[in-house]
Chains A and B, each alone.
Chain A
Amino acid sequence: MRFRTCSYEKELSQALKDGHWPEGCGSELRTHVDWCGHCSDLVLVTQTFQRARTESDRAAPCGSPSLLWWRAQLRRRNAATERVSRPITIAQTFAWFVTVLVGVLFVGSQYSHGLHWASWWSEFVPPRAFHLVPFGSGQVDWNFLLLISGFGVLALLSALVVYLAAERS
């Protein structure tokens, strides 16, 4: 199929779009459309589609806009909640991981010394019954454990700050 255009196409398209065809157009354009296949196609197709569009406007059933509005509000709220709670979930996971790691290190270090501290539970001795031994020589470094715990607390506080900032926005 050969692709060709007509010099009247733009003028005719505008007239059809504005609803000026045929009464609002000059006799030259009307005569041209009578013999130009390209332009008569344009008139036929545009008028048919415009009529179909007008009939659709009259006949189409429309749902309730207020229902759509509230559904959209609900969806936006859910998306915002999910976005806000994401950093909190990450911080919680991190904090649980740190807590479990500290617990495992502590139990592991005490186990290697025969679990002497277990007597603490039966005799209710003061907390000094714990073996606070250095980590470097196969024993626990309490400064390191405190550092990890501090990171955990910091992560939780950061999540809280992010949550409050996001809620305000």
Chain B
Amino acid sequence: MDSDAFAGFYQRSAPGLRAYLVRVSGNSALADDLMQESYLRFLCASRPEGGEVNYRRYLYRIATNLLRDHWRRPGTACIEDVPEQFLAARDGLAHIDVQAILDPAMARMRPRERQLLWLAHAEGYSHREISEITGLSAAGIRLLLFRARRKIARLLRKQIAAERRKA
């Protein structure tokens, strides 16, 4: 991959990767750091065959591992232990309308649930692909995703009703 090809790939993949990292970590500064490190590791490593689709999946795997490493570091809370309100997304996208519905709902989800929901519904990855990215089993993902989807659908409906009442 030469410099121009990378620039094109970066322009296409960076917004999605950043959104994923912001949504899961709930910290836009951390998301920016992890995004940069993800691209650096992506460029330094031997990349998989199969073109951009596989490149993108590989990039998400690097980012997911970096998130996991971050949570494993001493003094950093584990992905399952971080208080939910602490993880409310606080990036610079607050003015967007969908955020008014999605942000409060996401703030009440566990980070692992956010991760799976985003990969499945925002990125459109299959259970097998999510399994490759996260290292979880495909059967476990199916069950976790089913529960997470029911939970967030209930929260989204509440938010939509609240927004309608306000309007």
Contacts and interface: CB of A to CB of B under 8 A. Distances in A.
B71 to A, nearest CB: 22
B43 A45 contact: no
Contact of B102 (A48, A72, A73, A75): A48
SS class, residues of chain B in contact with chain A: helix
B149 A48 contact: no
A16 B96 CA distance: 22
Given A44-B156, A65-B6, 14 more contacts: A44-B153, A49-B102, A49-B117, A49-B122, A52-B98, A52-B102, A55-B98, A56-B15, A62-B18, A65-B7, A65-B11, A68-B10, A72-B40, A79-B44
Contacts of A71: 40
Interface string A97-122: 00000000000000000000000000
Interface string A41-53: 1101110111111
Interface string B1-32: 00100110011001110110011000000001
Where chain A touches its partner, the secondary structure class is helix
A56 B11 contact: no
Interface of A: 1, 3, 5, 17, 40-42, 44-46, 48-53, 55-63, 65-66, 68-69, 71-73, 75-76, 79
Interface string B106-144: 000000000001100111100000000000000000010
Interface of B: 3, 6-7, 10-11, 14-16, 18-19, 22-23, 32, 36, 39-40, 43-44, 92-93, 96, 98-99, 101-102, 117-118, 121-124, 143, 146-147, 149-150, 152-153, 156-157
A48 B157 CA distance: 11
6 contacts: A49-B102, A50-B121, A50-B122, A56-B15, A68-B40, A72-B43
A8 to B, nearest CB: 15
A63 B18 CA distance: 11
B44 A76 contact: yes
A122 to B, nearest CB: 62
Contact of B149 (A45, A63, A73, A75): A45
A76 B93 CA distance: 35
A45 B121 contact: yes
A1 B3 contact: no
A49 B20 CA distance: 11
